[in-house]
Amino acid sequence: MSGGSLDYLAFRMNDALFDEANVHYSNVGNPKENMYARSDNPFEDKDISELIFDVACVIHALEWYKSGDISEETYREILAKFKKSYILDETIDFRVHKKALELACEDIAWIDVPRTNDTQYYIDLYLKKARKE
Whole-Å CA distances, 20 to 39, 40, 83, 114: 8, 7, 24, 39
Grade residue 109 by pLDDT with cuts at 50, 70 and 90. Answer: very low
What residues make up the domain containing 123? 94-132
Q: Is residue 99 part of a domain?
A: yes
Dist. CA 131–CA 36, nearest whole Å: 24
- Same structural domain, 31 and 82: yes
Per-residue pLDDT, averaged over 11-32, amounts to 89
Q: Among 86, 105, 123, give the residue marking a domain's end.
A: 86
Angstrom distance (rounded) from CA 22 to CA 37: 8
How many domains in the chain?
A: 2
For residue 54, the number of C-alpha atoms closer than 13 Å in the C-beta half-sphere is 23
In a domain, 13, yes or no: yes
Contact of 49 with 57, CB cutoff 8 Å: no
Which tens digit of pLDDT belongs to each residue from 71-86? 999 999 999 888 888 7
| Shared domain check, 101 and 82 | no
3-state secondary structure of 86: helix
Identify whether 119 is part of a domain. yes
Each residue's pLDDT tens digit, 37-92: 989 999 999 888 998 999 999 999 999 999 999 999 999 999 988 888 877 555 55
pTM of this prediction exceeds 0.75: no
